[in-house]
Amino acid sequence: MAKNIITCSFCGRDKRSAKMLIAGQSGHICEVCVAEAYKIVSAESETTQKEAARQSLTLLKPDAIKKYLDEYIIGQDQAKKVLSVAVYNHFKRISNSNNTINQEEIEIEKSNIILAGETGTGKTLMARTIAKLLNVPFCIADATVLTEAGYVGEDVESVLSRLLQAANYDVPATERGIVFIDEIDKIARKGDNASITRDVSGEGVQQGLLKLLEGSVVNVPPQGGRKHPEQKMVQINTKNILFVCGGAFDGIEKIIARRLNTSAIGFSSSMNAGEVERNNLLKYIIPQDLKTFGLIPELIGRLPITTFMNSLDAETLRRILTEPKNALTKQYQSLFKIDGIELNFELEVLDLIVEKSMENKLGARGLRGICEAIMLDVMFEIPSEKNPPKEFTITLEYAKKKLANEQFGNLKAA
């Protein structure tokens, strides 16, 4: 009788002890061994995929990176060059073992970047576009939610938690990633005067970021959130993590103007010269201006590269509407194509959208709000029609009529 008892060929469980025995050509396996085998195979497969991802790191040249950015972002050549070189150097650093060259023990240090520009000029878009291109973990963090440890808000280590999650909890991959910290200007020091209350979301956060930016081993909660004594931590070395910080720095033009002994408004020796000075003041930004704005010197020193985003003129906004791969007009045309409708825009309509956006002073972000105001009724009505048209053209008369019914009708420059 004992010979007829069926058992698992791996663990020896018999049919009575196991919930299920799966038969093979020359043996059986129970459900427990199947589950254990699945765990082993999954872990091995994940390790192999991570190793393959590390080895498949493609060293892109700066001009190739810039060409890719050109497909999605109009203008901003200086910022693109700075970012392309920084990313290229970052790739070289992480692909070179031990960061030494030719056995000369020359250690290559990272160069973090601070990117200044008005709202709607494409800072966050540039970061997202870079994320599509890179084969390294990338995350975008918001500085406005950060506070000192122990206060309501997120600790600075939450920035690395996002990067760890983007790397699928692969610590070696996380340690060669890139972090874009948006709204860095919102943690500026509130004032030079001493206060009885702590600046927990301003200078306190800047001090907390110092160890991250410079390079140190940081204890990071893997799931984010607050740190507490019983929580399991993951140690991440930030030495090879590249940080790009972006911010609007609203009002810094006046600081630059005072330093240049000029005026952010009014005229210089000639009208044209005064206009050029006003439109390009961010071009002259230096670390001293950031310090006056409210960033502490220790933080500025850890962000050695400072670059700027040009303000968008009418011609650039007009190109943004139609030229990039993800241009607004192309997005709406794709939405209508799903319903089998070909959407067209009169050229005068695009000029009207740009004109209203210039009055709104919100940069490229203002374009979508105006487009939505024009397109709302047609997007609401056409899909519900029994026999929708095969083609629809947004005319100048139609656009003006729709804008007149919205808040944009009486929009004036501030």
Highest mean pLDDT among 7-16, 17-26, 301-310: 301-310
Percent of the chain with pLDDT over 90: 30
CA dihedral 87, 89, 95, 96 (to 10 degrees): -170
Output 32-41 pairs: Cβ under 8 A, ≥24 positions apart.
Answer: 33/8
Per-residue pLDDT tens for 96-140?
655 455 556 677 788 899 999 888 888 888 888 888 887 788 899
280 and 261 housed in the same domain: yes
Instruction: Give the C-alpha separation, 296 to 206, whole Å.
Output: 7
Confidence of residue 204 (pLDDT cuts 50, 70, 90): confident
Instruction: Give the C-alpha separation, 102 to 96, whole Å.
Output: 10
Per-residue pLDDT tens for 352-393?
999 998 888 778 888 998 999 999 999 998 888 888 889 999
276 and 328 housed in the same domain: no
| Statement: residue 66 has pLDDT above 90 | yes
37 and 106 housed in the same domain: no
302 and 356 housed in the same domain: no
Collapse the DSSP code of 400 into the 3-class scheme (helix H, G, I; strand E, B; otherwise coil) and give the result.
helix
DSSP string, 5-51: --B-TTT--BTTT-S-EEE-SS-EEEHHHHHHHHHHHHHHHHHHHHH
280 and 361 housed in the same domain: no
15 and 68 housed in the same domain: no
123 and 29 housed in the same domain: no
Phi-psi region of 168 (alpha: psi -120 to 50; beta: other; left: phi over 0): left
What CATH number has the domain bearing residue 358?
1.10.8.60
285 and 328 housed in the same domain: no
260 and 344 housed in the same domain: no
Residue 413 has a pLDDT of 40
245 and 348 housed in the same domain: no
115 and 239 housed in the same domain: yes
Domain boundary among 275, 308, 341: 308
Helix ranges (DSSP H) in 110-192: 123-133, 158-166, 171-174
What CATH number has the domain bearing residue 106?
3.40.50.300
Q: Residue 168 in contact with residue 139, Cβ under 8 Å?
A: no
| Statement: residue 28 has pLDDT above 70 | yes
247 and 384 housed in the same domain: no
Per-residue pLDDT tens for 131-190?
888 778 889 998 888 887 667 778 888 899 999 998 888 898 898 888 999 999 988 876
Instruction: Give the C-alpha separation, 73 to 327, whole Å.
Output: 9
Domain interval for residue 340: 314-410
Residue 70 has a pLDDT of 92
Domain boundary among 257, 277, 308: 308
Residue 124 has a pLDDT of 85
Query: What's the structural domain count of the chain?
Result: 3
Residue 211 has a pLDDT of 87
Domain boundary among 40, 55, 70: 55
